[in-house]
């Protein structure tokens, strides 16, 4: 069940070159990356001559079975697990996307969001390109399918230099596996090896599952080309020095058992909790996390403050999509069905509840009410990141400003809405300090409004509206033509 009060993940990508069980290993890689997207999954394999693709809506084990994987033959494969940030949730938008063009067969899986997608699509359509999906990833395929692209060297560099925004890509041609990371490094992508096979993955946790050795992260702006000669590297943006890795990977998105930029995500989150305790000391009896997103930060707060840590909320790991809308039967069902509270642990206690973010606030309010209904004397809400003030245009489903609670209400107003005795956020400096990395290397636009890659929302809206007008005009023209034929 997807909680609407939490930001949704973007996507996970995976690729492997040179293993006889490439599709099966890709399946397990996607399984480890399932947290990055739960709407659709897909795998494309290649035996050196022919592409085979299977994709569908749902979780990885719902889309694939042994028979399907057995049919995805070849020593090379790429995979994708998706949450829709651009393009609707429909099977035609599931990835990897594959084409057979004059340049040969090409498949792509994309994690991120292109900020100049509308402009590029407008240009491509004006030149005769016909799009089959509504995802920005298809734009990259169209650029690559043009006659100048051959999958190598400078032609690929020039193709990549045309797109802007956030992207980590795994690309498969008939002979090569290619990994690409945008020049700012918004999204993670790492390289591993399993025996003699090379692996590309959004997170290192997928390498652990298939027992592959972590080699290194793909550098921002780097293109890695893997073929029978081994791995070669091309820096597509040597002039780019500004880095902007999404700090929310450390706060929320990445799995705690992943390592990013030589930092353990688990340790960073524990340190965020410790920093929260230093900045916001509270006299309380217990520290309670919101599972699973608040576990690490709550542990850090408890360790630093000396206040006992209690798992008072018990998570139901078997919650799926409900076909009932039981609001008339059970109040707050969609919140309560996921987490149940152990009343005896909180009754008569002063409780600190720790979570990693508050976006809309409705779920947090229900948690506070649960605690008070169970007899908690006080409930203090602590958040292991700063208030979200701005939408994300690089692939995270943060809503527009009108739906971001902190962008429209003061901290005291939010506290009252939550029915909490106090509300505290980790500072921006404290969040960065917990990573042990320089502030200049992060994108923190959702907190501070500093967008590393410009985004013209007005132009984007204009192009989308003009496309709708063209479609409407075309439909009218077809209807008019049809009526003339009927008159004849």
DSSP 8-state assignment for residue 264: E
| d(C-alpha 157, C-alpha 237), whole Å | 9
Residue 78 and residue 116 in one domain: yes
| Alpha carbon 96 to chain centroid, angstroms | 16
Name the more confident of 426 and 10: 426
CATH number of domain containing 205: 3.60.20.10
* Phi–psi pair at 205, nearest 5 degrees: -60, -30
- pLDDT band (50, 70, 90) for residue 484: very low
Residue 191 and residue 47 in one domain: yes
Q: Considering the candidates 11, 392, 443, 446, report the single residue annotated as catalytic.
A: 11
pLDDT over 90 (residue 198): yes
Per-residue buried b or exposed e for 136-151, using 16+ beta carbons within 10 Å of the residue's own CB: bbbbbbbbbbeeebeb
Using one digit for the tens of pLDDT, what is the confidence trace for 102-133? Answer: 778 999 999 999 999 889 998 888 888 888 88
11 in active site? yes
Q: Report if residue 163 sits inside a domain.
A: yes
Q: Of 56-60, 295-299, 477-481, which range is least confident?
A: 477-481
Which of 410, 437, 464 terminates a domain? The answer is: 437
High-pLDDT (> 90) share of the chain, %: 67
Residue 236 and residue 279 in one domain: no
* Phi–psi pair at 78, nearest 5 degrees: -130, 155
CATH number of domain containing 322: 3.40.50.2020
Domain interval for residue 212:
11-243
pLDDT over 50 (residue 297): yes
Strands 213-217 and 51-57: unpaired
Q: Report if residue 471 sits inside a domain.
A: no
- Give the number of other CB atoms < 10 A from CB of residue 345: 18
Using one digit for the tens of pLDDT, what is the confidence trace for 262-286? Answer: 999 999 999 999 999 999 999 999 9
- pLDDT band (50, 70, 90) for residue 473: very low
Q: Report if residue 1 sits inside a domain.
A: no
Residue 239 and residue 321 in one domain: no
What is the pLDDT at residue 332? 58
pLDDT over 60 (residue 445): yes
What is the pLDDT at residue 454? 82
Using one digit for the tens of pLDDT, what is the confidence trace for 338-393? Answer: 889 999 999 999 999 999 999 888 889 999 999 999 999 999 999 999 999 999 88
Q: Tell me if 290 sits within 8 A of 449, measured CB to CB.
A: no
Residue 238 and residue 290 in one domain: no
pLDDT over 50 (residue 327): no
Q: Report if residue 136 sits inside a domain.
A: yes
Residue 297 and residue 397 in one domain: yes
| Alpha carbon 229 to chain centroid, angstroms | 32
Residue 238 and residue 353 in one domain: no
Residue 45 and residue 84 in one domain: yes
What is the pLDDT at residue 136? 86
Residue 168 and residue 225 in one domain: yes
What is the pLDDT at residue 89? 59
pLDDT over 70 (residue 1): no
Residue 311 and residue 433 in one domain: yes
Residue 233 and residue 303 in one domain: no
Using one digit for the tens of pLDDT, what is the confidence trace for 450-469? Answer: 999 987 664 444 344 444 44
* Phi–psi pair at 350, nearest 5 degrees: -90, 115
Q: Tell me if 347 sits within 8 A of 386, measured CB to CB.
A: no
Using one digit for the tens of pLDDT, what is the confidence trace for 66-101? Answer: 999 999 999 999 999 987 544 455 688 899 999 888
Q: Report if residue 456 sits inside a domain.
A: no
What is the pLDDT at residue 137? 86
Q: Could you tell me which of 154, 183, 174 has the C-alpha nearest to residue 242?
A: 183
Q: Which two tokens stand for residue 238?
A: 């040597």
Mean pLDDT of 382-405: 87
- Give the number of other CB atoms < 10 A from CB of residue 248: 24
The domain total for the chain is 2
DSSP 8-state assignment for residue 174: S
High-pLDDT (> 70) share of the chain, %: 84
Residue 129 and residue 220 in one domain: yes
pLDDT over 80 (residue 3): no
List % helix, strand, coil for the chain (3-state, nearest 5). Answer: 35, 25, 40
Average pLDDT, the chain: 87
Q: Which two tokens stand for residue 478?
A: 């077809």
pTM of the full predicted structure? 0.87
């Amino acid at each position: 069940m997807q909680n609407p009060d939490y930001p949704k993940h973007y996507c996970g990508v995976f690729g492997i070159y040179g293993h006889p069980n490439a599709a099966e290993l890709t399946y397990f890689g996607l399984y480890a990356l399932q947290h990055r997207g739960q709407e659709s999954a897909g795998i494309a394999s290649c035996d050196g001559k022919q592409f085979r693709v299977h994709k569908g809506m749902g979780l990885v084990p719902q889309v694939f079975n042994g028979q399907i994987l057995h049919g995805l033959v070849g020593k090379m494969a790429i995979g994708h697990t998706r949450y829709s940030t651009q393009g609707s949730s429909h099977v035609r938008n599931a990835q990897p996307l594959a084409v057979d063009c004059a340049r040969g067969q090409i498949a792509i899986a994309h994690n991120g969001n292109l900020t100049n997608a509308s402009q590029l699509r407008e240009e491509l359509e004006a030149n005769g390109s016909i799009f089959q999906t509504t995802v920005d990833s298809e734009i990259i395929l169209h650029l690559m399918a043009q006659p100048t692209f051959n999958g190598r060297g400078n032609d690929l560099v020039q193709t990549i230099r045309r797109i802007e925004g956030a992207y980590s890509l795994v690309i498969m041609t008939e002979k090569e596996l290619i990994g690409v990371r945008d020049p700012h490094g918004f999204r993670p992508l790492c390289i591993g090896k399993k025996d003699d096979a090379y692996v590309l993955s959004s997170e290192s946790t997928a390498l652990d599952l298939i027992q592959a050795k972590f080699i290194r992260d793909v550098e921002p702006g780097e293109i890695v080309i893997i073929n029978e000669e081994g791995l070669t590297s091309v820096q597509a943006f040597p002039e780019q020095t500004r880095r902007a890795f999404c700090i929310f990977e450390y706060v929320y998105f990445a799995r705690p058992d992943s390592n990013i930029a030589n930092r353990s995500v688990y340790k960073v989150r524990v340190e965020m909790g410790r920093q929260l305790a230093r900045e916001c000391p509270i006299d309380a009896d217990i520290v309670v996390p919101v599972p699973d997103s608040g576990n690490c930060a709550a542990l850090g707060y408890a360790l630093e403050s000396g206040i006992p840590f209690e798992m008072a909320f018990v998570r139901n790991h078997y919650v799926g999509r409900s076909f009932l809308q039981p609001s008339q039967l059970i109040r707050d069902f969609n919140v309560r069905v996921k987490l149940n509270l152990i009343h005896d642990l909180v009754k008569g206690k002063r409780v600190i509840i720790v979570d990693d973010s508050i976006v809309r606030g409705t779920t947090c309010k229900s948690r506070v009410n649960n605690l008070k209904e169970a007899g908690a004397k006080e409930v203090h809400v602590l958040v292991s990141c700063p208030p979200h003030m701005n939408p994300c245009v690089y692939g995270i489903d943060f809503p527009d400003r009108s739906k971001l609670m902190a962008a429209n209400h003061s901290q005291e107003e939010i506290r009252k809405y939550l029915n909490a005795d106090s509300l505290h956020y980790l500072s921006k400096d404290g969040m960065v300090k917990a990573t042990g990395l320089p502030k200049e290397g992060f994108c923190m636009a959702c907190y501070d409004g500093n967008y590393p890659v410009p985004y013209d929302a007005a132009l984007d809206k204009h192009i989308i509206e003009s496309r709708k007008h063209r479609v409407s005009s075309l439909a009218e023209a077809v209807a008019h033509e049809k009526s003339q034929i009927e008159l004849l």
